[in-house]
Amino acid sequence: MSHSETYAEIDRSAYTNALAKCSPITKTFFALSALIICASVSTIIVPVVIFITCTILVLSLAKVKACLYFNLFVYPTYMLVLSCIFLALFFGSGTTIAEIQLPWFTWSIFKNGLSMSITTFLRVEGALSCLFFLVLTTSITDLCVLLRRVHVPQVMVEMSMMIYRYIFLFLEISEQMSLAQKLRLRRSGWLSSIRSLALLIGSLFIRTLDQGERTLVAMNARGYDGEIRILEDFVSPRKLVLLGIVLFDVLLIILLFLTLNIGVV
């Protein structure tokens, strides 16, 4: 799936999922509270519970396509796996689980290094599930309205809207330019690939400046006066749902204390 198709699917899901009409305060409160707890714990049980809960909410309650949801994990998980392998092989101290004799030194793989890598993997996956729950169930318009309600500076809100829109646009342009270079056989060798990449970056920078000027002219032509106005169709949160989220967070904290002594390896 190309970047433009991914952007279209994410945007479509945010506006058409079964939880689209729910209050953004409720969804944001759940996602952020679960994210903070997941990022703060040092056990493996709580992140797994958060990941399973967010996955069930996204697939069963919000009725988001499973392929879209799991495709979002692909690239972050690749990078995460490489980072965790590096943590397991080169960090840690204390009890060793393997030693490799090399000519210059002894390479030791430590138990707590492996434990740290597994815990990090689960914490990041749990945090990603919270983030993707919010992204796939809440539109950028609702998020911007919420940010305005909590008095985030207007400049930051409008910049967030523009960045969200144009980051996918420029990724699509870079894909088209890269494909055009390959069709012209500009990447037949290593030096040619580096030269082509430099040309692509330079051309994309120029296209970015040009697109920014066009956007500003279009906005001025439509009466832009320094503020992007949004139709605020804001749904108030239900107190019972907020109470349920608080109880869920309390249960996660209790589960954290009950599983403190459970080791990974």
pLDDT in tens, 112-144: 878 888 888 999 999 999 999 999 998 888 888
Do 2 and 111 lie in one domain? The reply is: yes
Residue-range definition of the domain harbouring residue 163:
152-233
Do 121 and 169 lie in one domain? The reply is: no
Do 24 and 112 lie in one domain? The reply is: yes
DSSP-assigned beta bridge partners for residue 96? 110
The model's pLDDT over 44-101, given as tens digits with 9 standing for 90+, comes to 889 999 999 999 999 998 898 888 898 889 888 999 999 888 888 877 676 777 667 7
Is position 144 within any domain?
no
The model's pLDDT over 212-243, given as tens digits with 9 standing for 90+, comes to 778 778 877 877 766 666 666 667 788 898 89
CA distance 10 to 39: 24
Angle 100-78-164 from CA coordinates, rounded to 5°: 150
- Overall number of domains in the chain: 2
